[in-house]
Amino acid sequence: GSKTYNFLIPDSSPEGKYYIYSYVYSRSNQFYGGFNYHSAHESFIVGSFQSISIVTNFSNTGTYYDSILVHIGDVIEINGTSNVTSNLQHYIEIYKRGLLFSVPLEIINNKFSYLLPVIPEYAPDFTIIIYTISDSGKLYETFLTVHIEYIYSLNLSTDKEIYEPGDLITLTITPPENTTSVVALSFIDSAVLDVEPEDDSELAYFTERSYSTYISSGSSWGFGFSAESYWWFGFGRLSGGIYYLEINEPVPYFEDYYALTVEDFGRTDLKSDSFSFDELISNFETKVRKNISESANWMPKLIISEPMEINFQLPDNIGEWTIRAVVNNIFEGSNGFILWGDVVTKQIKTFLPFFIEFEIAEPVFQDDILSVKGYIYNYIGTDVKATVAISAPELIILNKDVQELYVPDGFVSEVEFSVYCIKPFSQNITLLIATETGGIKYSDAKQLTVYIKPNGIEIVNRTIGFLNATDGSLLLNYTIDPLAIYHRETLALYTDLMDISIDSWQSLIGYPYGCIEQTISKVLPTALIYNYLNQTGQLTNNLEQEMTLMILEGLSRIYNFQHSDGGWGWWRDDASKILMTSIVISALNQIKRVGFQINSYKLDKGIDYLIAHQHPNGAWDFQEYSSNTLEATAFILKALISSNNITSQMNTTINKAIGEFTSLWNAGDMQSTYGASLFYIATSGNIYENITLNNALIQYIKDNKEAEENTIFWESDTNSIWYWRKLGNKVEITSYATWALALDDYINNYALIQKAVRFLLKQRNRWGWGSTADTSAAIAALTAINGIMTGGGIIDFNGTISVTVNNHISPQYLLNITEFNNHPNEILLNLYDLITENTNTINITLDGFGKIWYIFESVQILRSSPKIDVPEIIEVSKNEQFYFHVEFSMIDERMPLVDTTLSLLNVPQNFFDPAANYTIFNPIIVNGSKLYFPLIAPNIEGDYFLEGVSILGYIQYNDTSSNPSRFQPFQRTIGPTIIRVGAQSQSLFPLIEPVNDSVSGQQIISLIKEISKQNFLISGELINITLKITNNGESRQFYVVEDEQPTGTVFVLDSVEILGNYNDTEVTYNIDSSGIHFFFPILTTGFTEIRYQIQVENIKNAYSGQCNIWGMYDDIFVSGKSIVLENIPRKYFANDLVYQDLLQPSILNASVKQSLKTPNIELQINIQATDNNIINKIRVVFSQNSGWRAQTLYSLKEQDNFSIVITDLKNINSIVALFIEVSDIYGNTATMILMPVRIIAYELIPYLIVGVIVGFSLGIASLSSILYKKLEKKKKK
């Protein structure tokens, strides 16, 4: 639609030309990634129009931002006019990475001229600006961009243009006239990376910058690309991949060629004796393409002065590769020295005439049934019958692992396999194709490694503490759980305090979320760690480069998040917050002290924002984040006083704040350790220090400590009237309190500091501390304490350390730690290879003086696999009531099945007991549990089949002493069972089962996940996801809800709805490969509902993924239970063997009829097919004289008869060739080849193509059509 806007031009508006801009943008969708921006503008003139315009002797247009092309030695004649009324002079300026020179112009009768010689120093680009300021104060200017053309350039050449995957390539780089050049070389898969157009500005040549790339959402082959986007689509064809019949090629002819209804053409099904995968590999001597990479052979710095050859092996991708060289040098030419640079690209191609491609949807979870679709490309020059095989050694293929397909020349056929991911971790999946034609064998195989996330419960334990040399040794006992499917053990030994705090520093410098608080909590620890590693000589060149980039990227992100008012909020486009701004200012000042350059303009603007929001009494408050103004004031004082350059305005602000803090402290009701510690750190040892007040603060800190075993800590007073959302929790408060004690008197406070440090170190986990704020505070405090320590450090050892596992005859690790020996302060020992099943012992022995700190960490993933027994045969008498029993065993007492639903499947009507319930919900099932379903036998003897029983539940780990409660989804179908009705009976009677209560209890926060549809899911269908959150406590700050994406689905953008009391806060979300993450600044009390949609691509059987909610500042983590999305079941026989469907569908009949209901050419294909499981897909592949196309029909109903109408036919005399593929739900495919049909054109029927979308070449084109239509329907709603 449209909208009209009216606005008033103020009288104070300067005269001149005004522009009105409008814009709209759209974000990426599941077909195309990226960002689309559309804009339009109009202009109007207020008062008289004044301007400056120029023309040159190089054919410029005189428009704003004009450009010209010149050569070195040329003279640019600039002639211009200006009607600007001004008492000031007009200036001409030359800019090239800054101002080169500026001279005034002489204006005569509103005209001016200037001669500008083009010299080498201007190359390759510079800008001319002519400007003045009018009497009204308006700036008038015009620009002219000048590009200096080069005759010099780097030359890239290769020994071939087209290679086979994995070939050895010879690349020759030739610099111009053999001048010394610095070259950066990259090698990129063009099908995956769409490189931005090269920037011809001098900035691209002569400043260091990373060339950004646009990563598309489609892979090399798959959704979102047309067939024509693949360069090999038309390889060897006359036109765009459309193959025309030769003139003399025989054409099938029907005598009655006007009879357009031709039924039962006859058929030839593909049938042959298939080889196994290994036999195919051997017989065809097939090379498996394993090295699949998006990039290869990065060479960031080459210095050459003559032609240089580089030989390297190509990856195994098929497609186009872009070789790109960025080159710089100083070239001495006839016109002097030229600072020269260029970006040169060259494309090469890798190709096979017959190959297969496939991708694997991620993420993949253990127990998923994965759809693996392969696409077979045939450019041999003739139609072929192909054999396709799959290999996945550790997984189970549920359909035929070798299939036969008909692949026309110049066409892409598809094949599907259902893979049961029964084993976790890295698994290899290989698809192979093979054919033989004309006595030549063609084959190809591609292997991908997929990471399968384990479906189990992760248990993490850390044993930590001090070990004194006087104690001699320490014995640790450790047991591998019999249910563990994975375990990892490490022992870290520390002889330096700081190294403990940055244990596994790589995990401390990266958090996955992009708000400003998370960004700060990434950048600040990185800068502090960088400084420490640098001071201790541990900063290698690689580390320095890596960490510097991390810090600079973080600073850039912080700058970009700053708002126009100078403050920062959570995000780039929300409202500024005093709390967030003070966090940023404090962090920037700390990073500046480490030695990194900080943008002073950004820093000053942020400080100005804080000053502007100070209350007249000198205090600050943190709006909805905290009600304690004393803590807020102390927090901001720490940020401001840490500045290197305190202005007079800042000094006034600081003094006012100190006065108000003192008043609030003396008033007493807002006193807290958090506020006292921050104020002490801020003012200690500088001009703002008040010794009397600071002594009182230190005493308050000492008086309010809490003891726990051999540690001390501080936390907020929950009884305080100001407790509501007070800032800081145990770790953050303890960090600042310990820092303050160290500043006060390290030696006299040593006993307290040591116990507090011990507490902090015990709270440390693999990723840092409990929250991002805790991690930043702990590292900052421990860094400061490490610098304050004088003599007698908290950790210091001189001697030898031996580590012996399982009483080995000699220590497996013997470490010499002496002051004369250059040794690392952190030693991480991997014990995995030394640990055995069951019980282990780890002995740490010290021989020397002092003490060390140790951390023994173990990770085990426990997986329970309950055994479920159902009878294979039940013998009963006629008309007898009997019981179908389900018995559970091999259930560990710690891991029962909870909230389990059992359902009998497809119970025959003549067995129904009217009083029975054939779906049972049981809150808890333990080892030995039995459940019974009553049935009544019919009065006719014989064997009857009961399909089986479906079990869906969750395995819960009940030992929550040190690990939050987690769930392992469990789903299985068991059957069938034969019920033999005869003369004798087994006389089965149920046992009395105990009544068990549900394990679910009342929680402060609960999370439930609901899915609108769980089975019979068709490609392109939309599914509604609902996450229901109940908060039974107070409103809570900074919560994250994360939901994993089920395998075989895509997230639908702009489908998110947040329901609840969130009018006053902004809930944002982020999408990455792991799923969707929602950020709640405030999680309100009561009910919250998150709704969004996913779209089905291809689902066999997948858990819906783990859903969690957790507090960034609270020790709360709640998991929601996963739901199963099912098209085929995880089916087991009663003897515990996995069900496999190894039968192809049967095509009983097929016919083709000309539709007489329309004047257009339409063929109706009627197909009768059957299968032991559901027919899932019918695909008709057809060609009218040339160019193969396909139309696909999906069905998940129990049906045998199908009809497809082909409408995309031209009204011309032609031959239509057809074949039919019928696939069942498991992926087994049967093919029927039909005889060609001759169509004679009606003379009076105009050429018309009717609107059914048919894929041009790719077999997935109809799927794309469904996806598109589904989205259109949603938009219309």
Question: Could you tell me the two tokens for 1075?
Answer: 């799923």
Q: 8: which DSSP letter?
A: P
The pLDDT of residue 1270: 31
State the average pLDDT over residues 84-110.
Answer: 88
The pLDDT of residue 25: 59
Which residues does residue 186 pair with via DSSP β-bridges, in sequence order?
324
* SS3 state of residue 1030: strand
- Residue-wise DSSP of 102-164: EEEE--BTTEEEEEEE--GGG-SEEEEEEEEE-TTS-EEEEEEEEEE--S---EEEES-SEE-
* SS3 state of residue 759: helix
The pLDDT of residue 196: 42
State the average pLDDT over residues 1211-1236.
Answer: 88
pLDDT beyond 50 at 248: no
Backbone angles phi and psi of 169, in degrees to 5: -110, 140
The pLDDT of residue 274: 67
C-alpha–C-alpha distance, residues 172 and 187, integer Å: 14
**Residues in Cβ contact with 709 at an 8 Å cutoff, skipping those fewer than 6 apart:** none
Which residues does residue 1182 pair with via DSSP β-bridges, in sequence order?
1189, 1218
Question: Could you tell me the two tokens for 508?
Answer: 């401390």
Q: How far is CA 968 from CA 212, 955, 956, in A?
A: 41, 5, 7
C-alpha–C-alpha distance, residues 7 and 2, integer Å: 17
Question: What strands, in cross-sheet order, belong to the sheet with 948-956?
Answer: 919-925, 897-905, 948-956, 967-974, 1131-1132
pLDDT tens digits, one per residue of 464-474: 888 888 888 99
Which domains does the chain possess? 1-149 (2.60.40.10), 155-233+287-350 (2.20.130.20), 457-495+796-862 (2.60.120.1540), 497-788 (1.50.10.20), 867-1132 (2.60.40.690)
Question: Could you tell me the two tokens for 330?
Answer: 């100083």
Q: What is the CA radius of gyration of the chain?
A: 37
- 168, exposed or middle or buried, with CB in 10 Å at 0-12, 13-18, 19+? exposed
pLDDT tens digits, one per residue of 1155-1189: 666 667 788 889 999 999 889 889 999 988 778 88
Q: Are the CB atoms for 431 and 356 separated by under 8 Å?
A: yes
Mean pLDDT for the chain overall: 79
Query: Whose CA is closest to 790, among 828, 736, 746?
Result: 746
The pLDDT of residue 839: 93
The pLDDT of residue 1103: 86
Count of Cβ atoms closer than 10 Å to residue 341 Cβ = 22
Count of Cβ atoms closer than 10 Å to residue 556 Cβ = 11
Find tokens 């006859």 and name the residue. 266
Q: How far is CA 379 from CA 318, 433, 621, in A?
A: 13, 14, 71
The pLDDT of residue 809: 94
- pLDDT band of residue 203 (cuts 50, 70, 90) is very low
Q: Find the range with the poorest average confidence among 25-29, 372-376, 1219-1223, 1228-1232.
A: 25-29
Q: Are the CB atoms for 1124 and 1105 separated by under 8 Å?
A: no
C-alpha–C-alpha distance, residues 1047 and 364, integer Å: 6
How far from each other are the two terminal CA atoms of the chain, in whole angstroms?
Answer: 17
State the average pLDDT over residues 255-274.
Answer: 38
The pLDDT of residue 167: 93
**976 preceded by a cis bond (ω within 30 of 0):** yes
The pLDDT of residue 755: 87
Give the largest CA-CA distance in the chain.
123
Pairing of β 396-397 and β 867-869: unpaired
- pLDDT band of residue 949 (cuts 50, 70, 90) is very high
C-alpha–C-alpha distance, residues 238 and 240, integer Å: 7
- Pick from 103-117, 457-471, 724-738 the range whose average pLDDT is largest: 103-117
- pLDDT band of residue 793 (cuts 50, 70, 90) is low
The pLDDT of residue 1170: 93
Please state, for a pLDDT cut of 70, what percent of the chain lies above it: 80
* SS3 state of residue 60: coil
- pLDDT band of residue 484 (cuts 50, 70, 90) is very high
Which residues does residue 484 pair with via DSSP β-bridges, in sequence order?
862
Q: 1230: which DSSP letter?
A: E
The pLDDT of residue 353: 94
pLDDT beyond 60 at 188: yes
Find tokens 């549900």 and name the residue. 998
- 393, exposed or middle or buried, with CB in 10 Å at 0-12, 13-18, 19+? exposed
pLDDT tens digits, one per residue of 376-420: 999 999 999 999 999 999 999 999 999 999 999 988 999 999 999
Sign of the Cα torsion 670, 673, 674, 680 reads positive
Alpha carbon of residue 1017 to chain centroid: 25
Q: 58: which DSSP letter?
A: T
The torsion of the CA quartet 511, 514, 520, 524, rounded to 10 degrees, works out to 40
- Pick from 382-396, 491-505, 587-601 the range whose average pLDDT is largest: 382-396
* SS3 state of residue 571: coil
Pairing of β 402-407 and β 364-365: unpaired
C-alpha–C-alpha distance, residues 295 and 186, integer Å: 8
State the average pLDDT over residues 25-38.
Answer: 46
Q: 222: which DSSP letter?
A: S
Q: Are the CB atoms for 924 and 898 separated by under 8 Å?
A: yes
**Residues in Cβ contact with 91 at an 8 Å cutoff, skipping those fewer than 6 apart:** 102, 103, 104, 105, 130, 131, 132
The pLDDT of residue 798: 83
pLDDT beyond 80 at 812: yes
State the average pLDDT over residues 814-842.
Answer: 79
Count of Cβ atoms closer than 10 Å to residue 608 Cβ = 16
pLDDT tens digits, one per residue of 845-892: 999 888 888 889 899 999 999 999 999 999 999 999 999 999 999 999
Count of Cβ atoms closer than 10 Å to residue 459 Cβ = 19
Question: Could you tell me the two tokens for 495?
Answer: 């002889």
Alpha carbon of residue 1015 to chain centroid: 27
pTM, rounded to two decimals: 0.69
Q: Find the range with the poorest average confidence among 214-228, 416-430, 569-583, 1114-1128.
A: 214-228
Please state, for a pLDDT cut of 90, what percent of the chain lies above it: 35
Angle CA(344)–CA(350)–CA(351) in degrees, nearest 5? 145
- pLDDT band of residue 448 (cuts 50, 70, 90) is very high
Q: Find the range with the poorest average confidence among 220-224, 271-275, 837-841, 1222-1226.
A: 220-224
881 CB-side CA count, 13 A: 9
pLDDT tens digits, one per residue of 293-346: 877 777 877 888 899 999 989 999 898 888 988 887 766 655 555 566 777 889
pLDDT tens digits, one per residue of 1084-1137: 999 999 999 999 888 898 888 778 898 766 667 788 888 888 889 999 998 889
The pLDDT of residue 338: 56
Say which residue, 70 or 135, is predicted with more confidence.
70
- pLDDT band of residue 151 (cuts 50, 70, 90) is low
C-alpha–C-alpha distance, residues 657 and 651, integer Å: 10
